[in-house]
Structures are given as structure tokens and as C-alpha cells.
Amino acid sequence: MSILLLPRVLQVWHPYDYQLYVEMGNGARQGINPVGPAHYYPLPTVLWIFVPLSLMPDWFRLVWAIVPIVFVLMLHRREGLWFVFFTPLWWNITDAMLDGWLLPPLAWMLGNRPGWAGIGAVLLLTKPQLAAFAVAWSFWRWVATRDWKNLVTFCLGTIGFCLPAFLFDPNWVIRLLAVLPQRANESMVLLPLLTSSVWAWWWLGGGAVVVGVIVIAAAGGFAFLSWRRQGNLTALSLALNQLFVPVLFASNLTTLIPAVHGRRQILSVIAASLGAIILDSALGGFGGGYVLVPLVVMFFLAQNSGAMKTEVPQ
């Protein structure tokens, strides 16, 4: 039956993000830098990922969307099946987003695996807004602890990742910085209430601002406790990233999947996501309820309850 339905699925399902990736890849193959309105990814990402995607057959979009589910099961084994109820993962699959493919690199970095953590940090540069805080913290820690293996791997990997882009367009960084205000405007002016960061409560206005203050206070308290109890500060940085970067949406919370461990934590973040979608429906398109997801992760980190024990099997 699935084989019979597959042609129909490919006919009616046109994932938005995947189409953008292919468009950018096609643009680069024509010798132009495709970064511009609605195309905000770094040029290295375009060359290393989107160009190969543009060469794939049309049906590959289904593979691209499904593989992240395999990654979830690799990270959490049978307990990963619970994530079929995790609403951010729905959006990733529906739009065939890049985020789900970054789950293994996130797990490597959160677990600080020798060498692999540095590689994971490089791969996270493909969509830097997702884990900028966590990558910055990891880099600082590698320098402070003289973790040469991860530090050298990250530095050499970053050079290898970016060098082809400079050969393709020496001014690609300047061009990317020029269009970033358009990306920020898209989230903060055109669709502010759909963002999943705490700032959505500010943009909602009125009494909602009080909720925003409470969320920030709670995040600060959990962060302090996590630091005092020597929790996983890389995972904490990742949760803070999802909470405070204003251009992120609910779908981007998929990146927190490697930061939870065990059925209790998994079911808690799933319950938070389901509560958020109910609030979103009640208010007619409001993403602020999704702040519950990183807050739940931070709560477990504050308990130092082993919120990062998962690894991708070698």
C-alpha cells in the first residue's frame, strides 16, 4: 500500500525548506551566489549541502525528510519512538528541514566526544543560528581546558568548510551580513508572534510581558543552578540559544532532542510541545508557548540529572 501511495505523496507534497535548498543549489551551479531575499544560508552550506541536493532525483526529498527519524532512534533507541508526538519534529519532517540532519553533530558536541565534538561544531555552522551559543561555549571550553583534539579539529574543519566559499565568492560574508537584517525583519516584524523565543511574549504586549519576565527569571534560576551543580553547560547553552535567539521557530526546537535522556525527560518535553501547540491554536498563531520546551530541558539540567548521556553509536 505504501508503494502504491508513494507517487501520490510525491505529487502533492512539496516541502518548503527543501525546495529552497534545491533553488540555492541550482543557483550556485549556475555560477552565482544565491544568498539573497528568502535565501539566507551561508555560502559554504550552499556549496557543501545544497549543490549535492540539487543533483539528486526528485524522490530524494522523501529520504531527506525521513532520515532524521532514524537519527532520533539511534540517539534514544526504543524510547525515541515517543518523539512521534514531539510537534517540532513534525514541522521538520513536513518541510524536510536541515535541522534534523544536525542531530548527530549536536550529540557529539553535547557529549564532548574527542575529535567528534569539533567536527560536530563545524557541521552546526551550516545553520549557525541553531546552536551559536553552544558552539561558542564549546570553543571557549576547548581553549580553557586545552582540549587540543577538539580545538584543532574544529579550526581545521572550519577552514575546510569555508575555503571553497571564498574561492567561489570572496565577498560572500559581506553579502550574507547585508541580507541578515531582512531575515531578522521577517521574524521580528512580519511574523513576530510565530517565533518560539521568549520575545514573542514581548511582541504580544499587555499582560503577556509579565509572562516573558517570569520565563526569563525561571531561565536565569535554572541556569544558575545548573552551573552550581556542574550540569552540562553545553546543553544549557543550547537551551538558552533556543529561548533567546529571536529568529527561531518551533521547528528549530528539534535540536533539543539530543539534550534529553530517559523516558521522564522525553515525555516532559513532548508534553510541553503539545501544550504549546494547544496554546498556539487557541491564540490563532502564537509561538510563545514553545518556551516551555527549553525551560523543561533547563529544569532537568538544573537537577544535574544526566540530561546528556546519549551518543551516536560508533
Q: What is the pLDDT of residues 110-145, one digit of tens each?
A: 999 999 999 999 999 999 999 999 999 999 999 999
Residue 277 lies in a domain: yes
Q: Count of domains in the chain?
A: 1
Task: Give residue 2's pLDDT.
Answer: 47
Query: Is the sign of the CA dihedral 183, 184, 190, 191 positive or negative?
Result: positive
CB 158 within 8 A of CB 119: no
Q: Residue 187 domain-assigned? A: yes
Say how far apart CA 128 and CA 112 lie, in whole Å: 18
pLDDT at 1: 45
Q: Which three cell numbers stand for residue 137?
A: 561555549
CB neighbour list of residue 57: distance below 8 Å, 6 or more residues apart: none
- Return the pLDDT at 287: 84
The verdict on residue 19 lying in a domain is: yes
The whole-model pTM stands at: 0.89
With respect to residue 307, please indicate whether it lies within any of the assigned structural domains.
no
Task: Give the pLDDT of residue 9.
Answer: 62
Beta bridge partner(s), residue 195: 249
How much is the CA Rg of the chain, to the nearest whole Å?
A: 19
> All 3 cell numbers of residue 275?
501544550
Which one-letter amino acid corresponds to residue 152? V
Q: What is the pLDDT of residue 294?
A: 96
Q: Is residue 106 part of a domain?
A: yes
Beta-bridge partners for 36: 39
Residue 311 lies in a domain: no
Ranges of the chain whose pLDDT falls below 50: 1-4, 307-314
Query: Tell me, what's the pLDDT at 14?
Result: 81
CB 255 within 8 A of CB 131: yes
pLDDT at position 6, please?
55
> How far, in Å, CA of 215 to CA of 285, rounded?
20
CA distance 196 to 251: 9
Q: DSSP of the chain, one letter per residue? A: -HHHHHHHHHHH---HHHHHHHHHHHHHHTTS---BTTB-S-HHHIIIIIHHHHTS-TTHHHHHHHHHHHHHHHHHGGGGGGGGG-HHHHHHHHHT-SGGGGHHHHHHHHTT-TTHHHHHHHHGGGSGGGTHHHHHHHHHHHHHTT-HHHHHHHHHHHHHHHHHHHHH-TTHHHHHHHHHHHHHHIIIIISGGGB-STHHHHHH-TTHHHHHHHHHHHHHHHHHHHHHTT--HHHHHHHHHHHH-TT-BGGGGGGGGGG--HHHHHHHHHHHHHHHHHHHHHTTS-GGGGGHHHHHHHHHHHTT--S-------
**23 domain residue, yes or no:** yes
Predicted pLDDT of residue 305: 57
The answer to whether position 193 is within a domain reads yes
Structural domain harbouring 163: 2-302
Backbone angle region of 250, left / alpha / beta, with phi > 0 → left and psi within -120 to 50 → alpha: alpha
Contacts of 241 (CB under 8 A, 6+ apart): 130, 131, 132, 133, 134, 248
